[in-house]
Amino acid sequence: MGAKQVVFGALLTALALVIPLAFGGFLGVVIPPFSATLASHVPVMISMLLGPCVAVLVGAGSALGFLVKLGPVIAARAAMHAVFAAVGAVLVRRGMPFWRALLWTLPVHAFTEALIVLPFGFTLQKAGVVVGLGTAMHHLVDTGIALAVVKAVGLAQRPFAKTS
pLDDT, position 159: 57
15, part of any domain: yes
Angle separating helix axes 134-153 and 98-116, nearest 10 degrees: 150
DSSP assignment of 19-76: HHHHHTTTSEEEETTEEEETTTTHHHHHHGGG-HHHHHHHHHHHHHHHHHHH-HHHHH
Averaged pLDDT, groups of 10, the chain, 164 residues long: 89 95 82 86 97 96 94 95 98 96 98 96 93 96 96 71 40
Distance CA 12, CA 77 (A): 19
pLDDT, position 58: 97
103, part of any domain: yes
Q: Structural domain tally of the chain?
A: 1
Domain harbouring 103, CATH code = 1.10.1760.20
158, part of any domain: no
Within the chain, how many helices (H) and strands (E) appear? 7, 2
pLDDT, position 158: 53
Distance CA 41, CA 16 (A): 8
68, part of any domain: yes
160, part of any domain: no
Q: Which domain holds residue 86?
A: 3-153
Nearest to 138 by CA among 118, 97, 100, 109: 109
78, part of any domain: yes
Please state the pTM of the whole predicted model: 0.92
142, part of any domain: yes
Q: How many CB atoms lie within 10 A of CB 88?
A: 28
161, part of any domain: no
pLDDT, position 160: 55
pLDDT in tens, 56-101: 999 999 999 999 998 999 999 999 999 999 999 999 999 999 999 9
Distance CA 112, CA 40 (A): 16
